[in-house]
Amino acid sequence: MGMFKDLNTLSRQSKEIRKNHDVGADLAGMQQKMEQLNQSMGAVAHGQAMASGTVTTATVISVAQTGAMVNFQPSCQLELVVNLPGRPPTPVVRTEVIPAIFLARAQPGQRVCVKVMPDDPNDMFIDWAAPV
């Protein structure tokens, strides 16, 4: 008899949750996160830095997770300071999917190897695997 009482309680609780849950708001939030990821990944796909950028280093200032995951890898907003030879340090903010194996490199104070277009520091490719 206790099992049927528990099932009835679960049924009532699930109906209450469904009544107060806004699926449309969840879908809108997911859509917004997907658009942000598409923009960040599109910048990498269309950028020239990977092929012809200047190899230099950048220092990680801050890291914040966006809440999105791509292939079980977190998407993070990074604040970096890029060190281009002959130019003052340049701050850059970008959203990047960081491979899980390299999350230790995405910590404040760490330096990472990057390829940057000198005329546009926002056109950047972070080479997580390259030694600094």
Report d(CA 3, CA 14) in Å as an integer: 16
Residue 45: the pLDDT is 56
- pTM passes above 0.85: no
pLDDT in tens, 4-61: 778 888 888 888 888 888 888 888 988 988 888 777 666 555 578 888 889 999 999 9
Query: What domains can be seen in the chain, in order of their start residue?
Result: 34-127 (2.40.50)
pLDDT in tens, 121-131: 888 899 999 99
Nearest to 126 by CA among 62, 61, 72, 59: 59
Judge whether 84 and 91 are in contact, CB under 8 Å.
no
The half-sphere exposure of 107 on its side-chain side, counting CA atoms within 13 A, is 7
